[in-house]
Amino acid sequence: MKYAILVIGACGQLGTELTRALRKKHGWKSVIAADIHPAMDAEGLYVQLDVFNKKKLAYIIAHRGVKQLYHLAAVLSALGEQNPAKAWDVNMQGLLNVLEVAKENKVWQVFWPSSIAVFDKNGELNPSTVYGISKAAGEYWCRYYFEKHGLDVRSLRYPGLISHRAKPGGGTTDYAVEIFHEAVNKGSYDCFLNRKSTLPMMYMPDAVRAALELMDAPAASISVRTAYNLAAMSFSPQELATEIKRHLPDFEMACNPDFSQAIANNWPVSVSDYRARRDWGWQEEYDIARMTEDMLVNLGQKELC
């Protein structure tokens, strides 16, 4: 491999795992992790990068020979509602900077994750948060750069993501990560959504694999240039708590909904991802039972990083 891969937002929930997977696939010397944080990446190349700094981004791409770019930096749904203007700037201007610099430097491929936050509860494209609005707008910018400039931008509308390796980043579905840590460490959890709030979810190994499979798919097979829907499972906090109790019988969950409940109420219970299955063979591997078992096994061996 004679070109480099750049992962922006590499310290986030998805970025942490995707960077590891890319290094395993392509070699640690070929993958550059980048984030706004100054911390060094002990496992490979790391650069501190603010997506508002187009000059530095262009330098990294040109100097390192970057031809594939994963842009993951974003302010998520719940956190975004606390500072909408900042969320819009980071999510929208950050994406535009990446697309423009990628175009100018002839990057071959760009991956950018969208979200089920673009939908309302009926599954229509009708976002109700600044995060969802930025993702919906970003999808059309991705298509614009493909159609007008030939930039091969690919995107997935992720459901809530669950991982044992990294902290959640301020999203409405973060409860589905927090609950496991609290179950292991305290034996109880106070959930910020109500018991029956069913939402689409996905275990991180499936989320990472989906990104890699999408980027490996031949361009001719990609029929969606906004973002592909992606699905794996849907469950409520009560259903997840019940599954955890199969392994930890003394676990108890209370529910005290906060402002995140209003966001969850506007999201769909499930999404259809038939185009991803048809175009590039997407198929999930984890259901709620297999995910729960794997999460608890891993959390019994390590602390949250």
pLDDT for residue 273 is more than 70: yes
Confidence of residue 3 (pLDDT cuts 50, 70, 90): confident
Regarding whether 132 and 85 lie in a shared domain, the answer is yes
* 285, pLDDT greater than 90: yes
Query: What is the per-residue pLDDT for 40?
Result: 63
Q: Encode pLDDT of 132-161 as tens digits.
A: 999 999 999 999 999 999 999 999 999 999
Q: Which residues are catalytic?
A: 131
Is residue 12 situated within a structural domain?
Answer: yes
| Portion of the chain with pLDDT greater than 70, in percent | 96
* Three-state secondary-structure class, residue 267: coil
Query: How confident is the model over 27-50, as pLDDT tens digits?
Result: 999 999 999 988 765 678 999 999
**Across the chain, what does the average pLDDT equal?**
94
Q: Has residue 223 been placed in a domain?
A: no
Sheet with strand 228-229: strands edge to edge: 114-115, 156-158, 228-229
For the domain that residue 104 is a member of, what is the CATH number? 3.40.50.720
Query: Do 76 and 114 meet the contact criterion of CB atoms below 8 Å apart?
Result: no
**Model confidence at 167, in pLDDT bands (50, 70, 90)?**
confident
The 10s digit of each residue's pLDDT in 169-191 is 778 889 999 999 999 999 999 99
Residue 60 shares a structural domain with residue 133 = yes
Asked whether residue 175 falls in the same domain as residue 294, the answer is yes
Region of 159 (left: φ > 0; alpha: ψ -120 to 50; beta: rest) is: beta
Range of the domain at 208: 4-158+204-216
Residue matched to tokens 């992720």: 158
What are the angstrom distances between the C-alpha of 156 and each of 61, 140, 159, 180, 294? 23, 13, 9, 26, 24
Q: Do 78 and 195 reside in the same domain of the chain?
A: no
Indicate whether 72 and 184 sit together in one domain: no
Token couple for 142: 């991705």
